[in-house]
Amino acid sequence: MQEFIRIRNFGPLKEVEIDPIQPFTLFIGPSASGKSTLLKVVALFRYLFKMKNIRSYLKHAQITKSPFRFRIDSNLRNCGLEQMVTSDTLVEYGFKFEGREYAIKYAGKQLKLGEDLPINFLSFYKVSFISENRTILTKLSNNVRGRDLGFYFNETYGDFDEATDVVQQLNLDYLDFKFDVRKGNNGKKKYFITPADQTYKSVELKNASSGLQSSTPLMVIAHYFAKNFSFQDAFLRSVLSYLFESGQLTKFQPQIELKDMEKYIHMHIEEPELSLYPPAQRGLIESLVKECFREPGKDRQLSLMIATHSPYILNYLNVLLRAYQKKDEGHVYLNPDKVAVFHVSEGRIICLNSTTASGESVIDAYVLTEEMAEIARLYKELE
């Protein structure tokens, strides 16, 4: 199956097409160029397609009344995207399968779901969004429930809260720290950070460095989805509980079992490099790749979609690509066939994937050298 998205006239995005969307996709570009908007649009339409999958699954199981209503206006409003759409906005998202496209389409401010999905195409999704505002997550800790802190932050909090019910300890090798969860006197969770060499005692994560506060939730969520997330539990919550509560369980005649469906976890990350020194940025991206692509659970396929300003992350991808091409099993690596990097500028994207004269796959980081050259020019002018 080949995942794709096409976007026209959506906020800062003028014309964008990604076909196929690769398991590791990275966007880099100037501030306000549309990186985060692109990330949010993909996440939203993946979520809508997830709902379409469940609705198609229920119809095949003789359940004609679906628990999910597609209210695109409220979806856009909740995501803070409502003011970015016009009558000229177009979004098409879906998959190509056996020579056909199965897609949902937003055009003329209307959402068209298209035909129901065939049984052999059905899949089950988890869509996660890790907000750039995650640095305040541990300060609010258990006081988030009931607050309107924005859709994407609430999504990040929900995933972190769920993850820390299961992930009680985690090594943060990129910073030489350990994370653990403890219960306070009131029974609520507290999050602690301890130096790996134990040079000083543990501190609460909310009092740790900003780099730890921004990257720890990210890594905990990634570890949880790669290793511990239960599709069975998610299926029970989203499907079977509805059938029971609506009195339709006796009508339920599934044509395919959950174990036989493809399962995807899509993670969308805003600025993973926040407050991290360059070596730690490289270590973080290596840890993410290792969690999501080298050691995930056997019943799932993970994808990472990242919006970043970091030239260090971009350039370090070439190390991970070379490790794959040199067949260095001792190093974390990325398969070039599953990586796409795009420079976002003026509402459009340019693919930075390239090939050297010797046939080696690389990411062309030349676009990021312009600013360094300008700084050098200004410096020389002052001689």
The 10s digit of each residue's pLDDT in 181-190 is 998 888 889 9
Are residues 256 and 119 in contact, defined by beta-carbon separation less than 8 angstroms? yes
Token digits of residue 70: 């597609």
Residue type, 335: N
Q: Where are the alpha helices (DSSP H) in the chain?
A: 35-60, 72-78, 137-140, 151-164, 210-223, 231-235, 241-245, 278-289, 311-325, 369-381
pLDDT at 237: 83
pLDDT of residue 376 exceeding 80, the answer is: yes
pLDDT of residue 199 exceeding 70, the answer is: yes
Are residues 222 and 232 in contact, defined by beta-carbon separation less than 8 angstroms? no
Are residues 215 and 24 in contact, defined by beta-carbon separation less than 8 angstroms? no
pLDDT at 106: 97
Mean pLDDT of the chain: 91
Domains identified in the chain and CATH numbers: 2-132+236-381 (3.40.50.300)
CA 279 to CA 286: how far, in whole Å?
Answer: 11
User: Percentage of residues in the chain with pLDDT exceeding 90?
Assistant: 69
pLDDT-based confidence at residue 289 (cuts at 50, 70, 90): very high
pLDDT of residue 155 exceeding 80, the answer is: yes
pLDDT at 350: 96
pLDDT of residue 4 exceeding 60, the answer is: yes
pLDDT-based confidence at residue 314 (cuts at 50, 70, 90): very high
Who has greater pLDDT, 92 or 199? 92
Q: Tokens 């607050």 appear where?
A: 147
pLDDT at 294: 85
- Condensed to tens digits (0 to 9), the pLDDT of residues 201-237 reads 999 999 999 999 999 999 999 999 999 999 999 988 8
Q: Which residues contact 238 (CB under 8 A, 6 or more apart)?
A: 54, 67
pLDDT-based confidence at residue 254 (cuts at 50, 70, 90): confident
Closest CA to 26 of 319, 317, 346, 320: 317
pLDDT at 147: 56
DSSP per-residue codes, 199-231: SS--EEGGGS-HHHHHHHHHHHHHHIIIII--H
pLDDT of residue 146 exceeding 60, the answer is: no
Span 38-53, average pLDDT? 95
User: Percentage of residues in the chain with pLDDT exceeding 70?
Assistant: 96
How many alpha carbons lie under 13 Å from residue 157 in its C-beta half-sphere?
21
pLDDT of residue 329 exceeding 60, the answer is: yes
CA 347 to CA 229: how far, in whole Å?
Answer: 36
Q: Which residues contact 328 (CB under 8 A, 6 or more apart)?
A: none
Span 164-187, average pLDDT? 93
pLDDT of residue 85 exceeding 80, the answer is: yes
pLDDT-based confidence at residue 143 (cuts at 50, 70, 90): low
pLDDT-based confidence at residue 142 (cuts at 50, 70, 90): low
CA 207 to CA 213: how far, in whole Å?
Answer: 8
pLDDT of residue 359 exceeding 80, the answer is: yes
CA 343 to CA 105: how far, in whole Å?
Answer: 25
CA 266 to CA 224: how far, in whole Å?
Answer: 13
